[in-house]
Structure 1
Amino acid sequence: MNHSFRNYISSHGNLVQLVLFVSIFFISWNIENIYGVIFNYKKWKHSFVNAPFILTSIPCQFILGIAFVEVIKWTTMHKFGLSFLFHFGRKPVLLFLATFVLLDFGEYVYHVVMHKFKILWRFHLVHHSDNMVDISTTLREHPGETIIRLSFTLLWVFLSGAVFWALTLRQIIQVFTTLFAHINYRLPEKINNVLGLVLITPNMHQVHHHYKQPYTDCNYGDVLSIWDRLFGTFNTLPVDDLIFGLDTHLEAGDHPDFKNLIKMPFRKK
């Protein structure tokens, strides 16, 4: 990774992420129309329920984005974090790989924590209450969870000493894998069995969105699937047995409404 490439990623990373997100979203939307696993739902109506979460995520990401810049400035100035401790910065490729693995493990920990602590789960269940998982489900994140998620990521950036270009490149990859994991599509089993040894696939993540435990509490991985296999949270389920949503909030899928989804974490259940 030469210096000009790193500078380009640092300067244009947000634009690259936006273009990539829109492009992959459009491609995935059409793949679902042709090769989707489930067709018996109103796709446009479903997407319009999830789409407004774009508007609630923008201010959260903008405010936390400022915090990311300041934290990275501080860690770089003081040479604080694991990447500086182990001198990964001397080799850009090694620095990126170390940053990628450390942040991905952090995302795994964050996801487990969101499921295990009731006060945090109240926000995360908005995402899980979707009774149809497709490309638009990636948008369905309560602003409260957006703040929590980015705060956790900020902590991992602080502890790892991640530099800006490595973090941005990792986020670009994450855009692709997050969209890929939620697509209404199943990989052929042979391909899934090989790719799933390293990466989270749609087949794996759909199991995570099954409406009952223990399946809801499995396949937590963000990009890499190795953490689920390492910590015993990997699971499989035949596609014919999959039912999306939550058994505790099935009514949320009957008459979905953006306002009700925003209020969901604050209701007693």
Structure 2
Amino acid sequence: MAELRSFFSHHEDLTQVILYAGIITGLWFAEMMASVESIRNKWKHSVVNTLFIFTALPIQLLLTTFVVLISAWVTAHHWGLITFIPYHYNRWVYYITLFILLDLCEYIYHVTMHKAVPLWKFHLVHHSDLKVDVSTTTREHPCETCIRTCFLMLWVFICGPAIGVLILRQTFQSFSNIVAHTEFRLPERANKIVALVFITPNLHHVHHHYQLPYTDCNYGDVLSIWDRLFGTYGQLSKEETVFGIDTHMDEKLNANFIGAVKIPFQKFERKPHNQDIF
């Protein structure tokens, strides 16, 4: 057991990749079995999104090395916000507090990617997918992969988590992100209960609606409490939800890997919203 823990501690990114691959593959086949569209169309859509893995993985593996080094440093020097939390030496308090702190940090990161125009240009590649399914999880511009991991370095430095916390956090985060992008939605009654605490596919589908203000709703990563707390919680029925982003609704462009990678370097104007969330 100690050797297994040591292996995952030193191969945190490999752990996440294995988890990602297993869950995504399983859900992809489940979606395919339940889908009314042809296997050929689903395959073409998934291939474009899967190609982003080959740009993201090298960047992720390289930069995560620095995340691990920062984690080791803050732990050795008892650095970070966690040191100001009463009873932080208690394992339960330590893990739960850091999990919540890191989830808040990811909420801040997501809001920043939407509100800062230079960053939004890269993040909109993820939103440009006109059909959200489990493969959309991997649709991330390589520059955003770099930005996201650099933000993670900052959060680790500020909060002070040990590598064990990061492994736990990344495991939950990976599972949550994948499930949130799946085609499957929870029954409304179940969603009302689960969504009180967690981000569900129902909530995240609203975030992928093609128009503001819904695109700027439901930023939560694992927990939905931040959206409720900061007033970014929104609801939209399945019938009203249209995937994509209104500035980039060209099906041919979005269905082309090279075209999608070029999107941030092209001129466009983000359209203002003319409707309210509620």
**TM-score over 0.5 (shorter chain):** yes
Aligned to 1:122: 121
Normalising to structure 1: TM-score of the pair? 0.92
Describe the superposition over 1:61-82 as per-residue Cα deviations: whole angstroms up to 9, x where unpaired: 1221121122112212221101
Asked if the contact 1:129–1:250 (Cα under 8 Å) also holds between the matched residues in 2, the reply is yes
1:1-269 to structure 2, matched below 5 A, reads: 7=6, 9-11=8-10, 13-36=12-35, 39=37, 42-86=41-85, 89-252=88-251, 256-269=255-268
Distance 1:25-1:88 versus aligned 2 partners, 3 A rule: farther
User: Quick one: structure 1 residues 187 and 204, their matched pair in 2 at CA, closer, same or farther if it must change by over 3 Å?
Assistant: same
Partner of 1:239: helix, strand, or coil? coil
Q: Secondary structure at the match of 1:216?
A: helix
Q: In structure 2, what is the Cα distance between the partners aligned to 1:266 and 1:18? A: 29
CA distance in 1 between partners of 2:85 and 2:113 (Å): 30
CA distance in 1 between counterparts of 2:205 and 2:81 reads: 34
Kindly provide the amino acid, as one letter, of the partner of residue 154 in structure 1. Answer: M
* Structure 2 length-normalised TM: 0.89
**Is the contact made by 2:67 and 2:152 (CA closer than 8 Å) also made in structure 1?**
no
Q: Please state whether the residue corresponding to 1:250 is helix, strand or coil.
A: coil
Ranges in structure 2 where 5+ consecutive residues have no aligned partner: 269-278
SS at match of 1:69: helix
Greater relative CO, 1 or 2 (CA 8 Å, sep 6+): 1
1:29-81 CA-to-partner distances (Å, cap 9, x unmatched) read 12212445x73781100011111110101121122112112211221222110
Task: Give distance in 2, aligned partners of 1:15 and 1:207.
Answer: 31
CA-to-aligned-CA distance 1:135-168 (integer Å, 9 cap, x gap) = 1000100011111111111111100001111111
Give the Cα separation in 2 of the matches to 1:88 and 1:21.
34
Q: Distance in 1 between matches of 2:10 and 2:194?
A: 32
**1:107 Cα deviation from its structure 2 partner:** 0.4
Could you list the per-position Cα deviations for residues 68-99 of structure 1 after superposition, in whole angstroms to 9, with x for gaps in the alignment?
A: 12211221222110112336552222211111
1:179-237 per-residue CA deviation (whole Å, 9 max, x = no partner) reads 00000111111111101111100000001000001100000000000000111101111
Give yes or no for contact 1:10–1:165 (8 Å, CA) kept in 2: yes
Relative distance call for 1:162 and 1:3 in structure 2 (3 A) is farther
Q: Which has the higher helix share?
A: 1
Using the TM superposition, give the Cα deviation of residue 12 of structure 1 relative to its aligned residue in structure 2, in angstroms.
Answer: 5.5
- Structure 2 residue identity aligned to 1:250: M
The residue type equivalent to 1:39 in the other structure is: E
After superposition, the Cα gap between the structure-2 partners of 1:5 and 1:190, relative to the gap in structure 1 and judged at 3 Å, is farther
